[in-house]
Amino acid sequence: MRRLIACALCVLCAAAFAPHAQAYLKLGTRANGRLVTLQWRTFPIRYFVTNRGVAGVSAPQLEATVERAFATWDGVQGASLSSQFAGFTSASPLDDDSVSVIGFVNRPDLDRVLGSTSFTFDVVSGEVVESDIFFNSSFPWSVSASGETNRFDLESIALHEIGHLHGLGHSALGETELRAGGRRVLSAEAVMFPIAFSAGTTIGRTLRADDIAGILDLYATADERRQTGSISGRITKNGSGVAGAHVIAFNPASGKLVAGFTQANDGSFVIAGLEPGVHVLRVEPLDDGDVESFFDASVNVDVNFKPAFSTRLIVVPRGGTARNADITVVAK
Ligand SMILES: [Zn+2]
């Protein structure tokens, strides 16, 4: 049995997808009442690149850029990931053909979508059979080393989409402001933030602590899992669990931010892939950007509460879990 889902990076909003309830927000689906995490099991991940370029980006430049973005994820220390360029193809990223294809597609109708990732996977095991990425050629693109004014940096967007291809959902570690014409990103502490930086910048080529924790959550080696730790707890309001709360772990020693969500009605959360040591925990409502970028309609996201901190410092043990990191919030 196979099923197709899609996830998109947009300038303004993103397509809905089904998140899986665990530590980092991962992609997945519900099969026979069970949550199945989307994951690659066969390595290297072999992908084809379309043999068509667009204005400013030739097909070989497209290939080289995609290869660099894969190499950035493959280079995460402690993750067992590898990828391989399989060749150029005339197939479309939109074909369901059991071959992973990455390339440009002209979709002027999707005027807020820079790129999109879709999957075909085994709904029982969650193993990905195929994942395609398209970049919307109705936007202006750049592969310049330092970026180009008014053009979107292809490597930055490829890095985000390849994060989805690996099975990662969106991170909420970013701030935006609403301006005429849409939301503008003020800052983002994750490549997996659903709204892209403005055209011209290449800031999105570098993975942040949150992205690394997410990929380690899915693909860490056994040795790496013994080196990192996690935090678990519950977010409650008036004695009941809060669903869809954004929970952020801050490590004052390293300055790293790693976040997760409460994904069930009981308000429970797990944040994994953390460096051992002292963390400060903060919870805030998911009120920056579109809730649909993070959760599908089945999660009853509560945004009516004030941000709050844990009343104690949380010490993450090496290879273990700091439990009962509970926070009580109050309505706005
Ligand atoms: Zn995305």
237 lies in which domain range? 228-328
Please give the distance, rounded to the nearest whole angstrom, from the Cα atom of residue 161 to the centre of ligand 1. 6
Q: For residue 265, what is the domain's CATH number?
A: 2.60.40.10
pLDDT digits (tens, 9 = 90+) for 40-92: 999 999 999 999 999 999 999 999 999 999 999 999 999 999 999 999 999 99
Q: Are residue 64 and residue 206 in the same domain, yes or no?
A: yes
Please give the distance, rounded to the nearest whole angstrom, from the Cα atom of residue 232 to the centre of ligand 1. 26
Please give the distance, rounded to the nearest whole angstrom, from the Cα atom of residue 9 to the centre of ligand 1. 4
pLDDT at 62: 98
Beta carbons of 66 and 152 less than 8 angstroms apart: no
14 — pLDDT class (breaks 50, 70, 90): very low
Residue 11, amino acid: V
Q: Which of 6-20, 130-144, 276-290 has the weakest average pLDDT?
A: 6-20
Please give the distance, rounded to the nearest whole angstrom, from the Cα atom of residue 162 to the centre of ligand 1. 9
Helix 154-165 to helix 209-219 angle (10° resolution) is: 30
Q: Are residue 55 and residue 101 in the same domain, yes or no?
A: yes
Answer whether residue 223 is part of any domain.
no
Q: Provide the 8-state DSSP code for 269.
A: E
Which of 183, 214, 245 represents a domain boundary (last residue)? 214
Of residues 14 and 67, the one with the higher pLDDT is 67
Q: Are residue 118 and residue 58 in the same domain, yes or no?
A: yes
Q: Which of 21-35, 69-83, 166-180, 189-203 has the weakest average pLDDT?
A: 21-35
Q: Which of 212-216, 247-251, 262-266 has the weakest average pLDDT?
A: 262-266
Cα dihedral 105, 106, 107, 111, rounded to 10, equals 110
From residue 233, give the alpha-carbon distance in Å to each of 8, 230, 328. 30, 10, 11
Q: Are residue 147 and residue 232 in the same domain, yes or no?
A: no
Beta carbons of 325 and 233 less than 8 angstroms apart: yes
Answer whether residue 220 is part of any domain.
no
Which of 152, 186, 214 represents a domain boundary (last residue)? 214
Please give the distance, rounded to the nearest whole angstrom, from the Cα atom of residue 312 to the centre of ligand 1. 34
Which of 168, 190, 214 represents a domain boundary (last residue)? 214
Please give the distance, rounded to the nearest whole angstrom, from the Cα atom of residue 188 to the centre of ligand 1. 13
pLDDT at 1: 41
Q: For residue 174, what is the domain's CATH number?
A: 3.40.390.10
Q: Are residue 234 and residue 200 in the same domain, yes or no?
A: no
Please give the distance, rounded to the nearest whole angstrom, from the Cα atom of residue 208 to the centre of ligand 1. 15
Model confidence at 159: pLDDT above 80: yes
Answer whether residue 222 is part of any domain.
no
Answer whether residue 219 is part of any domain.
no
Q: Are residue 103 and residue 149 in the same domain, yes or no?
A: yes
Of residues 243 and 37, the one with the higher pLDDT is 243
pLDDT digits (tens, 9 = 90+) for 188-246: 889 998 888 888 889 899 999 999 999 998 999 999 999 999 999 999 999 999 999 99
Please give the distance, rounded to the nearest whole angstrom, from the Cα atom of residue 115 to the centre of ligand 1. 8
Q: Are residue 108 and residue 253 in the same domain, yes or no?
A: no
What's the CA gap between 294 and 171, in Å, rounded?
8
What's the CA gap between 212 and 190, in Å, rounded?
9
What's the CA gap between 76 and 308, in Å, rounded?
32
Q: Are residue 195 and residue 250 in the same domain, yes or no?
A: no
Please give the distance, rounded to the nearest whole angstrom, from the Cα atom of residue 79 to the centre of ligand 1. 21
Q: Are residue 207 and residue 255 in the same domain, yes or no?
A: no
Beta carbons of 270 and 232 less than 8 angstroms apart: yes
Q: What phi and psi values does residue 59 have, to the nearest 5 degrees?
A: -60, -45
Please give the distance, rounded to the nearest whole angstrom, from the Cα atom of residue 117 to the centre of ligand 1. 8
Please give the distance, rounded to the nearest whole angstrom, from the Cα atom of residue 93 to the centre of ligand 1. 16
Q: What is the mean pLDDT of the chain?
A: 87
Please give the distance, rounded to the nearest whole angstrom, from the Cα atom of residue 114 to the centre of ligand 1. 9
Model confidence at 5: pLDDT above 70: no
Which residues touch 112 (CB under 8 Å, ≥6 apart)? 10, 11, 12, 13, 182
Please give the distance, rounded to the nearest whole angstrom, from the Cα atom of residue 90 to the centre of ligand 1. 25
Alpha helices by DSSP H, listed for the chain, are 59-74, 154-165, 209-219, 222-227
Of residues 332 and 19, the one with the higher pLDDT is 332
Please give the distance, rounded to the nearest whole angstrom, from the Cα atom of residue 113 to the centre of ligand 1. 9
Model confidence at 18: pLDDT above 70: no
Answer whether residue 9 is part of any domain.
yes
Q: Is 330 helix (H, G, I), strand (E, B) or coil?
A: coil
What's the CA gap between 173 and 193, in Å, rounded?
6
Q: Are residue 36 and residue 138 in the same domain, yes or no?
A: yes
Answer whether residue 234 is part of any domain.
yes
What's the CA gap between 42 and 26, in Å, rounded?
18
Q: Are residue 140 and residue 268 in the same domain, yes or no?
A: no
Please give the distance, rounded to the nearest whole angstrom, from the Cα atom of residue 246 to the centre of ligand 1. 17
Q: Are residue 117 and residue 242 in the same domain, yes or no?
A: no
pTM equals: 0.90
Q: How many domains does the chain have?
A: 2
